[in-house]
Amino acid sequence: MKYDLCIIGGAGHVGLPLGVAFANVGQKTVLLDTNVEVLNMISSGSFPFMERGGEAALKKALKAKTLLTSPDPEVIGQSDVVVMVIGTPVDEHLAPNLHGLMKVVESYSAYVRTGQTVILRSTVFPGTSERLQRYFDKKGLKVGVSFCPERIVEGKALEELSSLPQIISGFDPKTVKKVTTLFSRLTKRKIVVMEPIEAELAKLFSNAWRYLTFAVANEFFVIATEHGLDYHKIYAGMTEDYPRMNLPRPGFAAGPCLLKDTMQLAAFHSSNFFLGHAAMSVNEKLPAVVLRQLEKKLPDMHDKTIGILGMAFKAESDDIRESLSYKLKKIAMTKAGAVLCHDFYVDDSRLVSLKKLIKESDAIILAAPHKGYSKIDPKKYPKKVFIDIWNFWPKNN
């Protein structure tokens, strides 16, 4: 075969680091993607989004000629293993869109060959791997389907691919063996073998768990704050030298995965996932809570300017997918005279400079605590209101 691996969705946040990591352990890898502009950036050595160590690792793989890019689906048939990592969003009713993934599979099925291994790396609705295996079986293609969930935290994929145990699964021993060998090249950590349905649920449980813990943190914050108390002081006291209180800090819990995977799990369990839905209402209401806090400190908001710092969904990221900063902006626009937004990393022509935002805003809300904002000292602006749910500028609270 011309390639060891073909990654469908290879220009994306999961596909690209994974492809680079495999290429750098000697696997001849081709990234197949419909986004030709981004493929061109990649092949010229430029990493298209923020990823720690990404650019150096990409350049290394390109130099070694183990990493190639292509928009041509012919490369699928020229690869021993095919990995699928396209997006799997929920729809406007928060229902999983299994149809979208299967449509992509169908569009490429003419290139799939008997003897290949097809690995699903997208996070999927439970049962999708089995559906895919049945699909190939019905077509008379002897293809081994495997589900191997991606568990990295976005932005640190290249570090975590080699430091996390890899969960793998398959429907037959030959596929399991092949996929075990493949992932053993990436990590010296354990390869954990499960049934495909177990691995699918393990991924959804992991993301729902994280989303729930953020919701607990946020709800505690809201309870304390709305009773006029300093939650951060309570947090510091209750977590000090007390390992059972392993609670995250409050903050916007957003991004392309946690909410949608919690909702996939809810859909799998016939919408009987009360904790998941409760977590969604707690986490999603935080922008409104923040504005309620602000309204108390800045009564005539309708003729005031609000500044929002950090539009990415989390700190030190340029990813705005499902960012609660944009939800905050939309609600703020219904209440304030003007809303100005800033981010160091996000590419959005509507953003303003940090200088302008600080100068013109009556109130400043820290939405994503990028490190660069630590240079701002709220005490220097006594006439402005600062809202900082993260306790990023502790002395201001």
Ligand X SMILES: NC(=O)c1ccc[n+]([C@@H]2O[C@H](COP(=O)([O-])OP(=O)(O)OC[C@H]3O[C@@H](n4cnc5c(N)ncnc54)[C@H](O)[C@@H]3O)[C@@H](O)[C@H]2O)c1
Which residues here bind ligand X, judged by CB under 6 A? 8-9, 11-15, 32-35, 85-88, 104, 122-123, 150, 152, 154, 256-257
In angstroms, what is the minimal distance from the CB of 228 to ligand X? 37
Element (H, E) at 340: strand 338-342
Beta bridge partners of 167: 192
- Are 323 and 329 spatial neighbours (Cβ–Cβ below 8 Å)? no
Supply the angle between the helices 274-297 and 196-226 in degrees, to the nearest 10. 30
In angstroms, what is the minimal distance from the CB of 263 to ligand X? 12
In angstroms, what is the minimal distance from the CB of 362 to ligand X? 36
Spell out the long-range contacts of 140-144 with Cβ–Cβ below 8 A and sequence spacing 24 or more.
141/109, 141/112, 141/113, 141/114, 142/114, 142/115, 143/112, 143/113, 143/114, 143/115, 143/116, 143/117, 143/118, 144/116, 144/117, 144/118, 144/170, 144/171, 144/172, 144/174, 144/175, 144/178
Nearest residue to ligand X, by Cβ distance, number only: 12
C-beta closer to ligand X: residue 15 or 250: 15
C-beta closer to ligand X: residue 204 or 306: 204
Q: How far apart are CA 90 and CA 312, in angstroms?
A: 20
In angstroms, what is the minimal distance from the CB of 161 to ligand X? 11
Tokens 């499960």 locate to 194
In angstroms, what is the minimal distance from the CB of 90 to ligand X? 10
Instruction: Report residue 343: phi and psi, to 5°.
Output: -155, 145
Which amino acid appears at position 89 of this protein? P
Q: How far apart are CA 19 and CA 28, in angstroms?
A: 9
Q: How far apart are CA 60 and CA 45, in angstroms?
A: 9
Nearest CA to 262 out of 283, 247, 238 is that of: 283
C-beta closer to ligand X: residue 156 or 335: 156
C-beta closer to ligand X: residue 357 or 368: 368
C-beta closer to ligand X: residue 8 or 365: 8
Q: Is 315 left (phi over 0), alpha (psi -120 to 50) or beta?
A: beta
Q: How far apart are CA 214 and CA 282, in angstroms?
A: 9
C-beta closer to ligand X: residue 253 or 376: 253
In angstroms, what is the minimal distance from the CB of 214 to ligand X? 15
C-beta closer to ligand X: residue 86 or 294: 86
- Are 263 and 125 spatial neighbours (Cβ–Cβ below 8 Å)? no
In angstroms, what is the minimal distance from the CB of 318 to ligand X? 12
- Are 146 and 119 spatial neighbours (Cβ–Cβ below 8 Å)? yes
In angstroms, what is the minimal distance from the CB of 122 to ligand X? 3
C-beta closer to ligand X: residue 101 or 328: 101
- Are 255 and 313 spatial neighbours (Cβ–Cβ below 8 Å)? yes
C-beta closer to ligand X: residue 35 or 213: 35
In angstroms, what is the minimal distance from the CB of 97 to ligand X? 11
